[in-house]
Structure 1
Amino acid sequence: MKFRLSFAPIERWLEAERDQLPLWLPVMLGLGIAGWFILPERASWIALIAAALGLSLAGVAIGSGRRAGVALLVAGLAIASGCALVWAKAEWVAAPVIQRPMIASFDADVAQVQQLVAKDSVRVALRPIAAPKLPPKLRVTIANADAPVGLARGDRLRLRARLVPPMPASLPGGYDFAVTAWFQQLGATGKAFAPVQRLSAAPDGGSLRDRIGRHTRESIAPGAAGIAVALVTGDQGSVSETDADAMRRSGLAHLLSVSGLHITAAVGAAMLLTLRLLALSPKLALRWPLTLIAAGAGAVTGIGYTLLSGAEIPTIRSCIAALLVLGGLAIGREALTLRLVATGALIVLLFWPEALIGPSFQLSFAAVVAIIALHEHPRMRAFTAAREEGVLYRLARNAAALLLSGIAVELLLAPIALFHFHREGLYGAVANIFAIPLTTFVVMPLEVLALLLDLVGLGAPFWWATGKAIALLLWIAHSAGNTPGAVALLPGMSRGAFSLLVAGGLWVCLWRTRWRWLGVLPFAAGAGLAFATPAPDLLVTGDGRHLGLRGADGSYALLRPKAKDFVRDMLAEAAGIDEGLADLDDLPGASCTTDTCRATISRDGRSWTILATRSAYLAPIKAMNRACAEADIAISDRRLPRSCKPKWLKLDKPMLSRTGGIVVRFGDPASVLVTKRTGDAHPWIDPPSLAGRSEAP
């Protein structure tokens, strides 16, 4: 009896939340997937699966007659399945990876083409032919001046390229391309040398996506071409860096990724057009199920648009959601619910479990969950309910609802954006009020009409109008993105803080009783931890070539004055600053030569001296030993002599090969974050190699 009474409050709560319990199935599956990525060793993965199965056994012990027992049983099985699923997927996609840089000449078939306007080049995915010393799939960048005219998927090329292994994260918390490349089965990346010879062209001129993208770029003004191509094909490589940065800063970057907004617009337009055309016939309107037929037309349009745009994860997720909505409409069920979103997430995670750790998956699902959770609230339902009122009042109420939705979305997306990108646009809610209707009801319909009318040579006026509409969209993006205080910056967020933020947000959004508000506590705790994280004092990339050192005024100085923009942007993002990096030569307390730099900074009443090399020339051994002995930290992209003994840290090539990039915070005590973890057994850390890799083919 006592056992029963102790579970009574929990049972009453779960009974009240019975309709919400299925929503936690993809969350538990995702928890197992996340655990596999976070935990480093095989023993810890097995322990996670065993612990999850133990949770299921606890559910069995409680009994299947109680909701608590069933919930624990299902949760444990989902967690174990998530960990096992992504582990199996990682082993299944295993492909050879080159171990070190190499120069190779080879023939290859083009599998994918992406224009990179900002770099005046094109990125191609290649499948080498009769090249056993190369991985089966690789990616190279070709300068536009060297690329064959009209390069398209299906072409066969002969080229010579410098290839390198997929790059891991250069700094803690940075983008780890090695993980992405592993699941895409990319064994190398690199840059092609001229000349690049086309051996044969694709018989149909490339894929439909390539042809539409090429035609769009040729038909519209250059400034708007990148946005136009992204909207119809999902290829963002044609967007200039200036415009892409403005879209990110203004919170409008989601418009460039073909996802929910675009699929909804395409499916809705197809349904409306089909329904209106068929309804013109009284016989069809009376005897045929026009709504069902229109839903079918919408489904075909959604699937076609997904395939056309490259079938990226956000697009697939949106297409699945759209198909579920259409299915609901066909059987007379409510169209858009959190259960539908949970079903879409479950399908994506079952087929692409690696998508969980990507910002695209997290941002897209978080946005939809925020919108639906807000609009399912009784007060919001009452506010948005249809009523008799004037046009101006209706427009104002709709604008207010859109603004509230934007605020809810920004609140839920901010932790994700700050965790992955260290920045978040603060004016996105306002900018989206104007940008979403403009994109949905003006830009996209005009672009579709232009493409259709080009079949009969009448698309030019619509391309002109599309260009003007996109110019207005870019004006909104640049205005919102360049306004003072438009971007919130954060130098870094720990996984613990991010986990608390995500857990709190999910708890608030997925439950319905008053206990949901307990989620505010972990959310607030995570936010407090995130914003309490001090800015890094020293950042060192994994190759030891670049470092950023924070001065007394909070600005950062760079070791190598000629470092490329990519390096400068990476270090600025990791530091959480929006301005450029100065040169270490100009930092107060720094003394630099062509070969070395020595800098002294003060933190919390203590002086720290950093010594770094910045050339390939070796200093006299005695002078180097003396400089090392006077330094707290010695940094180099080569092996320093054993006699070089700094007071605290020696970050040379052998050390950095074990730790990866380093973030140091000086204080009492000082702290060090590393990129690589000791004993990490994930397959991309020590991937399968190619026989004879030491020789170029």
Structure 2
Amino acid sequence: MATHHPPRVPLGGGASAGNAAVQRPWRTAPRLSSVGALAERFLERAGFDRGPWLVVAFAGGIAAWFALAEPWQWLAALFASILIALSAHTLPGISSDYARLRNACVALGLAFAVGVLVIWVRSETVGAEAIERPSVMPVQGYVLTREDQPARGRIRLELAIRDAETGSARRIRVNVPLEKARNSMAEGAILKFRARLMPPASPMLPGSYDFARAAWFKGLSATGSVIGDIEVVQPSAKAARIAPVQRALSAHVKSELDGAAGSIAAAFASGDRGGIGEADEDAMRDAGLTHLLSISGLHVSAVIAAAYALALKLLGLWPWLVLRIRLPLVAAGVGALVGIGYTLLTGAEVPTVRSCIGALLVLGALALGRDALSLRMVAVAAFCVLLLWPESLIGPSFQMSFSAVLAIVALHNTERVRAFLAPREEGWLRWAGRRALMLLATGFVIEIALMPIVLFHFHRAGVYGAFANVVAIPLVTFVSMPLIALALFLDLAGLGGPVWWLVGRSLDALLWIAHTTAEQPGAVKLLPQMSGLTFALFVVGGLWLALWKGRARLFGFVPATVATVLLITTPVPDILISSDGRHVGIVSQGGELVSLRESRSDYALDNLLELAGAQGEPVAMEDFANSRCSGEFCSVTVEAGGRDWQLLMARGNLRVEERALAAACERADIVIADRWLPASCRPRWLKADEKLLDQTGGLALVLADRRIDSVADHQGEHGWWRGAR
């Protein structure tokens, strides 16, 4: 039988209208070239600045290493980014026709690959293997650092010790009660004592602080406390060090100004926060003023700006120098020296060093006559910090500092803000009002930028922080810190007393602002959970809004809006189980936290309250209406998802007859215990005993969705996670 073929449709321009209906479907689809042309035009119109985006890609590589679970995934991300860069460089169509798109793909791909590589190398070189198990052992070690914490009744020492089994050096951290502390226990001393040591703790619950990860990058193998007396084998040498000078300065400030104001003044002068009381720290946190207590951008910038302005004014009185040397260059050098000295004096912590780098870049821009308030300046500072401490990317300190600076720079670089702040003929009152209004607007923008970060890391945020900062930041910058500097200068002649009194009144005013703001109704917003995806969408939206120009930046509201919807719809966990199984929290229908045990640990209680989104004291399990408790177990009925869930929780240490336990397990949906349970215990859904929790870590259960979120889900095969072992 003959085969009949349909007539061919001509593909040329002479096709008739009738033939157009049967043309190939891909003729109307966008071609790859048209997509490339669209991307090229977008990059041209939106003002693509490679500098900031290169740092974003570099940071993206670091973040990908933390987010991906296994080494093969890290390798895949590394080679995929390199492949993208090579393809963009070698493909003829992209290389010849789309220069901006080609350069962007090459540069961003390589920057991403470098980010993955830098954090991987950093982890392998500085990461310290934790000790195997909790133990009590004799310790003889060399003191590396000492931190006085009188508000907590202790000093904290980091020591280098020799492992008795392997002979390798280890770094440990121990707490020493104040009554056992002596001045000779300082940097360089050799001490001998018995200590109770534990491996650095993994997160207690999903979303809790990961101390094991922080300890890994600090090189800490164990933490613990001293048992008995401490023998000083060799006292600290009297060689010149920054730390003794820092402690002496802190002690001098506290001797001149006592109470809470003296502790805060010591923090501003020397970086010593150990004397600040817990109530004051909580008030500053809930008022959105915690950033004022840590030496960071505000303090370093204020010191450097004061040194720069003072040097410029004083040197301007010398006509010979004015005629021969550019004064801004000399003043920038003076400011740089003062800034570096202040950074070293206050402990040279990562946030302080980061702020100093940014301030030095600003000084360089001023000395060269360039725009100091630019996105490229922020990008260079961020790159320097991430190159030295790539692990700081995932910490709240780095994220909050650079988000705040990025928000300020992006806001003040917009055309409308520039026009609003442009010089004009007006009275001083209108001039001051314009600046005050801009300060308030800047505070709101900073609060919006920081809100996702604060909620993600701390699960709570101060709502009225913008208003509090409008008063508190000028008070600290233009009153408290200059007065502290003046008082210290006058103390050289013994004349600082009256100025210290003024310092005390200004810091009392700061504490009053903090406590008054924190005590207002609705001052604190609680958020139990924010997923990594939600946080990433907030970050992408914020960076898009800040780094693009014109209308293109408005696309940043798309991921931010999606993140907000995800945030609102994220359910609160019904049950929280700590990694050791001892601490269990149930969120009641009224939003209260019902606790299995009365915990003596503030840390455990705070974690349960934060992750449950509850305030106030928890309700004891035996006082909960739907519970029945004995000395060994509690049986609780929880309503969720339109049904009742039966929980059985161990609370004692006595052995229970196996047959009775097995029968109780059969009647329960969930069984929770801080010890191993026999195989005969078979609940209907989940058995969270020691065997399971050793593998998963802490758990958060959403009963309506039958969803289990574990600490292990967020750890992968990174060196600090010990659950799989």
TM-score by length of 1: 0.95
8 Å Cα contact 1:93-1:182 kept in structure 2: yes
Distance 1:535 1:3, change over 3 A: closer
Equivalence for 1:471: 508
Distance 1:222 1:155, change over 3 A: farther
Query: SS of the residue aligned with 2:387?
Result: helix
Distance 1:228 1:283, change over 3 A: same
Asked if residue 369 in structure 1 is aligned to residue 369 in structure 2, the reply is no
Q: What are the within-5 Å matches in structure 2 for residues 298-697 of structure 1?
A: 298-667=335-704, 669-677=705-713, 680-686=716-722
Query: SS of the residue aligned with 1:158?
Result: strand
Compare 631-640 and 197-206 and name the one that shifted more: 197-206
Structure 1 CA distance, aligned partners of 2:487 and 2:646? Answer: 63
Q: 109, 117, 121: which one pairs with 1:84?
A: 117
Letter in 2 for 1:201: S
Q: 1:103: how far off?
A: 0.9
Asked if residue 212 in structure 1 is aligned to residue 246 in structure 2, the reply is no
Equivalence for 1:40: 69
8 Å Cα contact 1:568-1:580 kept in structure 2: no
Distance 1:229 1:81, change over 3 A: same
Q: 1:603: how far off?
A: 1.3
Structure 2 CA distance, aligned partners of 1:400 and 1:597? Answer: 57
Deviation string, structure 1 residues 22-44 (Cα, Å, up to 9, x no partner): 21111111111111101110111
Structure 2 CA distance, aligned partners of 1:462 and 1:135? Answer: 49
Asked if residue 174 in structure 1 is aligned to residue 208 in structure 2, the reply is yes
Q: 1:210: how far off?
A: 2.2
8 Å Cα contact 2:79-2:113 kept in structure 1: yes
Query: SS of the residue aligned with 1:275?
Result: helix
Equivalence for 2:20: none
Q: 1:529: how far off?
A: 0.3
Q: What are the within-5 Å matches in structure 2 for residues 137-216 of structure 1?
A: 137-149=171-183, 151-199=185-233, 200-203=235-238, 207-216=244-253
Letter in 1 for 2:494: G
Structure 1 CA distance, aligned partners of 2:446 and 2:533? Answer: 22
Q: 1:376: how far off?
A: 0.6
8 Å Cα contact 1:148-1:196 kept in structure 2: no
Query: SS of the residue aligned with 2:170?
Result: coil
8 Å Cα contact 1:255-1:261 kept in structure 2: yes
Letter in 2 for 1:375: H
Q: 1:100: how far off?
A: 0.5
8 Å Cα contact 2:650-2:673 kept in structure 1: yes
Query: SS of the residue aligned with 1:388?
Result: coil
Aligned CA RMSD, in angstroms, stands at 2.1
Identity %: 44
Compare 127-136 and 601-610 and name the one that shifted more: 127-136
Structure 1 CA distance, aligned partners of 2:689 and 2:628? Answer: 20
8 Å Cα contact 1:10-1:68 kept in structure 2: yes
8 Å Cα contact 2:648-2:670 kept in structure 1: yes
8 Å Cα contact 1:226-1:236 kept in structure 2: yes
Q: 91, 99, 108: which one pairs with 1:66?
A: 99
Equivalence for 1:30: 59
Deviation string, structure 1 residues 199-222 (Cα, Å, up to 9, x no partner): 313415853222222322333212
Letter in 2 for 1:203: K
Query: SS of the residue aligned with 2:179?
Result: coil
Q: Which structure exhibits the higher relative contact order, with contacts defined as CA atoms closer than 8 Å and separated by 6 or more residues?
A: 1
Q: Which consecutive unaligned segments of at least 5 residues does structure 1 have?
A: 690-697
Distance 1:688 1:320, change over 3 A: farther
Q: 1:590: how far off?
A: 0.8
Structure 2 CA distance, aligned partners of 1:630 and 1:236? Answer: 52
Structure 2 CA distance, aligned partners of 1:554 and 1:276? Answer: 60
Query: SS of the residue aligned with 2:131?
Result: coil
Distance 1:463 1:104, change over 3 A: farther
Asked if residue 110 in structure 1 is aligned to residue 127 in structure 2, the reply is no
Query: SS of the residue aligned with 2:205?
Result: coil
Structure 1 CA distance, aligned partners of 2:439 and 2:362? Answer: 21
Regions of 4+ moved over 6 Å: none
Equivalence for 2:157: 124
Q: Which consecutive unaligned segments of at least 5 residues does structure 2 have?
A: 1-29
Larger radius of gyration: 2
Distance 1:160 1:225, change over 3 A: farther
Q: 1:313: how far off?
A: 2.1
Compare 201-210 and 186-195 and name the one that shifted more: 201-210
Q: What are the within-5 Å matches in structure 2 for residues 188-337 of structure 1?
A: 188-199=222-233, 200-203=235-238, 207-337=244-374
Structure 2 CA distance, aligned partners of 1:576 and 1:118? Answer: 28
Q: 1:453: how far off?
A: 2.5
Q: 1:154: how far off?
A: 2.8
Deviation string, structure 1 residues 54-102 (Cα, Å, up to 9, x no partner): 2213322221661001101111111111111101110011334211111
8 Å Cα contact 1:41-1:679 kept in structure 2: no
Q: 1:288: how far off?
A: 2.8
Distance 1:644 1:264, change over 3 A: same
Q: 1:151: how far off?
A: 4.4
Structure 1 CA distance, aligned partners of 2:710 and 2:507? Answer: 43
Q: 1:225: how far off?
A: 2.6
Distance 1:678 1:515, change over 3 A: closer
Instruction: Give the length in aligned residue pairs.
Output: 688
Q: 1:459: how far off?
A: 2.5
Q: 1:19: how far off?
A: 5.2
Letter in 2 for 1:671: R
Equivalence for 1:693: none
Structure 1 CA distance, aligned partners of 2:183 and 2:535? Answer: 46
Query: SS of the residue aligned with 1:136?
Result: strand
Letter in 2 for 1:575: A
Structure 2 CA distance, aligned partners of 1:285 and 1:639? Answer: 80
Letter in 2 for 1:250: A
Q: 44, 69, 75: which one pairs with 1:15?
A: 44
Q: 1:4: how far off?
A: 5.3
Query: SS of the residue aligned with 2:712?
Result: coil
Structure 2 CA distance, aligned partners of 1:620 and 1:71? Answer: 68
Structure 2 CA distance, aligned partners of 1:366 and 1:678? Answer: 24
Letter in 2 for 1:675: V
Q: 1:162: how far off?
A: 0.3
Equivalence for 1:51: 80
8 Å Cα contact 2:134-2:199 kept in structure 1: yes
Compare 376-385 and 118-127 and name the one that shifted more: 118-127
Equivalence for 1:694: none
Compare 431-440 and 273-282 and name the one that shifted more: 273-282
8 Å Cα contact 2:129-2:720 kept in structure 1: no
Structure 1 CA distance, aligned partners of 2:424 and 2:158? Answer: 54
Deviation string, structure 1 residues 198-254 (Cα, Å, up to 9, x no partner): 331341585322222232233321222321222223332321111111111111111
Structure 2 CA distance, aligned partners of 1:77 and 1:294? Answer: 38
Distance 1:7 1:359, change over 3 A: same
Distance 1:464 1:151, change over 3 A: farther
8 Å Cα contact 2:128-2:217 kept in structure 1: no
Letter in 1 for 2:66: F
Compare 535-544 and 315-324 and name the one that shifted more: 315-324
Structure 1 CA distance, aligned partners of 2:254 and 2:184? Answer: 12
Q: 1:275: how far off?
A: 1.8
Distance 1:9 1:134, change over 3 A: closer
